[in-house]
A and B are shown apart, each in its own frame.
Chain A
Amino acid sequence: MTNSEFINALIRRHGKDIYDRLISSKVAVAGLGGLGSNVALALARAGVGEMFLVDFDTVDITNLNRQQYDISDIGKAKTTALAKKIRSVNPIVRIRHKKIRVTEKNAVELFRGYELVCECFDKAENKAMLINTLLTSDIGSVVVSASGMAGCGTGNTIQSRKINDRFYICGDMVSGIEEGMALMAPRVGICAMHQANTALRLLLGEKEI
């Protein structure tokens, strides 16, 4: 398959307008676990032009239950493993990645220049930290966050919400790992696809849910 064959296939599927808007867009994904690996792959398949993948962790055997890695990825950095997977479905996406722990001190400079940041961390305090840090800074990014997707209750309670023009959140808002529920592929996947769909709509200029 050549790059132009791939591009033509995307244009045939999505139309030239959508292709053009997505190929010129840039998305950052913070955290590459059950949410982030799914969000990044979906946006890459949709034809986003540039992705920035950030995670400090390596792939572990316990990640296989819900994250987009395979057995051969165990022990590798999530950043490089996911970049490889993304390239295997989209040969033209530009990928930057950084193996780093995101903190209050480095978050603003890390994500500066990205119109859209997907918050895909797993710990509640890291989620809150990224939202508070980015949305009280001058960088102007819109953040699509997630909270509440543990367990195997109904998928129908997982929703996308708009808090304000720069802050969207997906999930059921209550089902956390603190309640002793496991994280499982379907519900985490539903939440990740809510995030990816919200991100996609924003990139295409639709600001309402």
Chain B
Amino acid sequence: MAKINGKEITEAAGGPLSRYLDEKGYKRTYIAVEVNGGILPKTEYDSYIINDEDVIEIVNFVGGG
């Protein structure tokens, strides 16, 4: 089962990352996505298919500094 932001997500594996991001309402311009230890380029969000063993961290930035 893929692990996303520390939680095991049953329905995510097998589908494209972009679908998961859209379903959860993430705005592409505000996020960085780490897959198994490296940042995934934004250009690969559509083509990347989530694997069963993936450990994914979606960092959703908020404004302020």
Q: Mark B42-65, 1 if CB is under 8 A from A, else 0.
A: 100000000000000101111111
Contact of B62 among A33, A131, A148, A188 (CB under 8 A): A148
Contact of B65 among A36, A132, A164, A165 (CB under 8 A): A36
The secondary-structure label for the interface of chain B is mixed
Chain A: which residue is nearest B37 at the CB level?
A164
Chain A: which residue is nearest B33 at the CB level?
A132
Give the shortest distance, in Å, between A126 (CB) and chain B (any CB). 9
Give the shortest distance, in Å, between A74 (CB) and chain B (any CB). 19
Residues of chain A lying within 8 A (CB to CB) of residue B65: 31, 33-36, 120-123, 127, 146, 149, 183, 188
Q: Is A100 an interface residue (CB 8 A)?
A: no
Residues of chain B lying within 8 A (CB to CB) of residue A173: 60, 62
Q: Is the CB of A131 within 8 A of B39?
A: yes
Q: Is A5 an interface residue (CB 8 A)?
A: no
Q: Which one of A123, A128, A131, A164 has the greatest number of beta carbons of chain B within 10 Å?
A: A128
Known: A128-B32, A131-B39, A132-B39. A163 touches B57 (CB 8 A): yes
Q: Is the CB of B63 within 8 A of A169?
A: no
Give the shortest distance, in Å, between A143 (CB) and chain B (any CB). 10
Q: Is the CB of A124 within 8 A of B63?
A: yes
Q: Is B25 an interface residue (CB 8 A)?
A: no
Q: Is the CB of B62 within 8 A of A175?
A: yes
- In the bound complex, how far is the Cα of B10 from the Cα of A152, in angstroms? 37
- In the bound complex, how far is the Cα of B52 from the Cα of A83, in angstroms? 50
10 contacts between A and B (CB under 8 A): A122-B64, A123-B65, A124-B62, A125-B30, A128-B29, A128-B31, A147-B60, A149-B64, A167-B34, A183-B64
Chain A contacts to B: CB under 8 angstroms: 31, 33-36, 120-125, 127-129, 131-132, 135-136, 145-150, 163-165, 167, 169, 173-179, 181, 183, 188
Given A35-B65, A128-B31, 13 more A-B residue pairs with CB atoms under 8 Å apart are A124-B29, A124-B61, A128-B61, A131-B32, A131-B59, A132-B42, A136-B39, A136-B40, A149-B64, A164-B37, A167-B32, A173-B62, A175-B62
